[in-house]
Amino acid sequence: MKKLLCVLLVALSVNAYADNNDKTRHDKVVELIQLMNMDSLMDSMYAQMDNMMKGMSAKLDIKPSEQAIFDKYHKRMLDAAKETMGWKVMEPNIITIYERNFTDQQLNDMLAFYRSDTGKAVIAKMPQMMQESMGFMQQAAQNTMGRFQQIAQEMQAELSAHRQAEASGQGGQH
C-alpha cells in the first residue's frame, strides 16, 4: 500500500511539474507573440488585403453606378477574411505551433531579442516591410499567372494536335 501511495505521489508530482513547465512555456509564447505585435501585424495584413481588393475595382472597370454593388461584395470578402483568419482564430494555432517548434531556450533567446533595441526596431519596421513584400509578391504572382496561362495554352494546343493526329491514325509522332 505504501509503495502504491509513493508511486501515486511521484506520478502526480511529475504531472504537476509537466503542467507547470507547459504553463511556463505557454506564458513565454504568449509574451513573445505580444512582443512581436502579431495582432497588429494581422491588422496590417487586413489593410493590405483591403487595398488589393480596392485595386480590383479598377481591374474590373467598375463604373460609378456599380460602385455600391462592388463595395457590398468588397465588405463581405473582407469580413469573411477577418472571420476565418482573424487574430482570435489564428492566435491559439500560432501559440501551439510556437510551443511545438521551439525549445524553452529558443523561446528565452527570442524573448531577449524582441526586448532588445534591435528587436524593437524589427517589430517597428515589420508592417512596412510586409507591405513592400506584399506588393512585390503580388506583382510576381501576376507575372507567374501570365506565364502559367501561356504554358497552359501551349499545352492545350499540343494536346489538341496530338489527339487529332491519333484520331487520323498517325498516333503520337513528334
Instruction: Kindly calculate the radius of gyration of the chain based on its CA atoms and give it in whole angstroms.
Output: 27
Q: Is residue 135 domain-resident?
A: yes
The pLDDT-based confidence of 3 (bands split at 50, 70, 90) is: low
Report the number of distinct structural domains present in the chain. 1
List, for residues 5-15, the tens digit of each pLDDT value. Answer: 344 344 444 44
39 found inside a domain: yes
b/e map of 108-122 (b: 16 or more CB within 10 Å)?
eebbeebeeeebeee
Domain holding 91, by residue range, is 25-140
pTM equals 0.60
pLDDT band for 62, please (50, 70, 90 cuts). confident
Cβ atoms 56, 88 nearer than 8 A: no
For residue range 128-156, list pLDDT tens digits in order: 888 888 778 888 888 888 888 889 999 99
Residues 6+ apart with CB under 8 A from 103: none
Contact 44, 125 (CB under 8 A): no
| Calpha distance 20→23 (Å, rounded) | 5
Tell me, what's the pLDDT at 137? 83
